């Protein structure tokens, strides 16, 4: 029996092969070559591998990769920031169970988003064009695509279950969550729009991972929304947009081939890169404003190194020479680490506020 099979999109079994459930086969079909991705003339060559021959790592590593736990800071840091702020607010009625459920709900929805993204990008072919795109869990044969799809729905279910007690406490959160989910889905769909798709997608990301996220957390804890909170949300949203657009720089060749209208595809590599550099510069400035507003004294100077780090990342982004440059991956990791350092700084500052 042949090790390979090539199918085009019109083949009745094409989708089954992509899902990892080829008819009449016990072996796993791993896609090895894809041509004319995301077009009607798409052709994919699959290599059959016996399940026991797949070199699968430990399950925790598969889950860590699939759920993109390395990107959890993008959601958790703003949430923990708001929790620390809430605790330090005079008269705040502490509800640890609410905080715990919010964290679990956010972790579940974060996992669901990346599972869903992996599944969709695999079926469309975007993740098959580059070995740096997605979690690689499906492409490496560690899990079948239909398993990832099932995990997506499971995580959605868990996030709803964790969120229900919070919704009962504050029913307005249902509307906010629905709006955030809708924007999240639209953010993906907008990328197909030729002209302003990239902008609408970025606004969606900024909203979902910025103001809407922080407002949702504070409402869930029963705290009033202030201007300062909105500024914090704006800052985190801008950092998130910059991070995701940096990823779009990495995937710009594949996106161009798959006709996904991201910022780099729409405006070109150089302009997109310069805009991102500006984005990081503004992140540093907004962070300085946030810190100064929160601690209008010498303590705000402690935030200066972090602001300078963001500006430095912007400068490194400006110097990038190629969409294939390895520096792009280094900068992605640096942005995530900056998130963590910012979160740590903000939490410690609020704790210090509470005690002093």
Partner 1 sequence: MGMNLKIYAPEDFPSYLPKLNALYDDLFSHGKGFRAKLIQKISSHLKLKENQVHLLAQTIEFIHNASLLHDDLVDRSPLRREKTAAWLKYTPEYAVLAGDYLLARVMVNLSRYGNLQLIQYTAEMISDLLEGEWIQDSLIEDWDVSLNQLDRVHNLKTASLFKWCMRAPFIIAENYDKKIHSLLAEMGSLLGLLFQRSDDLLDFDVRNYEGKAVLGDLQSGYMNSFATFLTKDMNEQQKFKFRECQSLADIYDFIGEVEFFVRLEEFDEHNRRVISLFEHLAEDLKAILPDESKNLIQELIVLPRILYWRKV
164 binds partner 1 (CB under 8 A): no
CA distance 78 to 18: 36
Instruction: Return d(Cα 142, Cα 66) in angstroms, integer.
Output: 10
The least distance separating partner 1 from the CB of residue 136, rounded to whole angstroms, comes to 11
Structure tokens at 315: 């400068």
Choosing from 132, 150, 247, 299, the residue that interacts with partner 1 (CB under 8 A) is 132
Other beta carbons within 10 angstroms of residue 5's beta carbon come to: 17
Q: Which helix (H) or strand (E) holds 254?
A: helix 252-258
Number of neighbours of residue 330 by Cβ within 10 angstroms: 11
Q: Which residues contact 58 (CB under 8 A, 6 or more apart)?
A: none
Judged by beta carbon, residue 195 or residue 321, the one nearer partner 1 is 321
Tell me if 130 contacts partner 1 by CB under 8 A. Answer: yes
Cβ atoms < 10 Å from Cβ of 42: 19
Instruction: For partner 1, give the closer residue by CB, 301 or 330.
Output: 330
Cβ proximity to partner 1, 43 vs 124, nearer residue: 43
Nearer to partner 1, 2 or 224 (CB): 2
- Pull the structure tokens for residue 115: 């599972």
Nearer to partner 1, 186 or 253 (CB): 253
Q: Is 326 in the site for partner 1 (CB under 8 A)?
A: yes
Binding residue for partner 1, selected from 43, 56, 95, 150, defined by CB under 8 A: 43
Report the 10 Å Cβ neighbour count for 90.
5
- Which residue from 71, 73, 83 is spatially nearest to 113, judged by alpha carbons? 71
Q: How far is the CB of 57 from partner 1 (least distance, A)?
A: 15
Counting contacts by CB under 8 A, is residue 55 touching partner 1? no
Position among 51, 324, 351, 352 found at the interface with partner 1 (CB under 8 A): 324
Q: Is 10 in the site for partner 1 (CB under 8 A)?
A: no
Answer for the pair 44, 5: CB distance below 8 angstroms, yes or no. Answer: no
Whole-number minimum distance, CB 249 to partner 1, in Å? 13
Which residue ranges make up the site for partner 1 (CB under 8 A)?
2-4, 6, 32-33, 35-36, 41, 43, 45, 47, 130-132, 253, 321-327, 329-330
């Amino acid at each position: 029996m042949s090790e390979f099979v090539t199918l085009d999109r019109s083949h009745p079994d094409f989708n089954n092969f992509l899902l990892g459930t080829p008819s009449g086969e016990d072996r796993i079909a791993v896609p090895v070559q894809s041509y004319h991705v995301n077009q009607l003339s798409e052709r994919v060559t699959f290599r059959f591998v016996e399940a026991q021959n797949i070199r699968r790592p430990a399950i925790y590593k598969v889950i860590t990769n699939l759920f993109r736990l390395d990107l959890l800071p993008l959601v958790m840091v703003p949430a923990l920031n708001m929790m620390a702020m809430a605790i330090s607010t005079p008269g705040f009625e502490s509800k640890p169970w609410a905080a715990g459920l919010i964290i679990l709900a956010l972790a579940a929805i974060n996992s669901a988003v990346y599972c869903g993204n992996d599944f969709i990008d695999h079926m469309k072919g975007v993740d098959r064009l580059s070995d740096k795109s997605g979690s690689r869990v499906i492409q490496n044969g560690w899990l079948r695509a239909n398993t990832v799809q099932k995990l997506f729905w499971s995580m959605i279910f868990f996030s709803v279950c964790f969120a229900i007690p919070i919704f009962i406490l504050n029913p307005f959160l249902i509307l906010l969550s629905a709006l955030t989910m809708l924007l999240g889905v639209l953010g993906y769909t907008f990328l197909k729009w030729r002209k302003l798709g990239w902008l609408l997608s970025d606004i969606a990301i900024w909203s979902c991972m910025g103001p809407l996220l922080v407002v949702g957390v504070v409402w869930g804890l029963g705290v009033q929304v202030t201007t300062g909170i909105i500024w914090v949300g704006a800052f985190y949203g801008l950092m998130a947009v910059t991070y995701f657009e940096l990823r779009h720089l990495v995937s710009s060749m594949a996106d161009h081939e798959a006709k996904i209208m991201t910022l780099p595809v729409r405006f070109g590599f150089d302009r997109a890169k310069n805009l991102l550099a500006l984005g990081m510069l503004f992140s540093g400035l907004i962070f300085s404003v946030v810190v100064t507003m929160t601690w209008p004294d010498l303590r705000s100077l402690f935030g200066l190194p972090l602001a300078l780090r963001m500006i430095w990342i912007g400068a490194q982004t400006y110097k990038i020479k190629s969409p294939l440059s390895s520096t792009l991956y280094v900068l992605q990791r640096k942005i995530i680490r900056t998130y963590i350092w910012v979160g740590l700084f903000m939490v410690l500052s609020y704790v210090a506020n509470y005690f002093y």
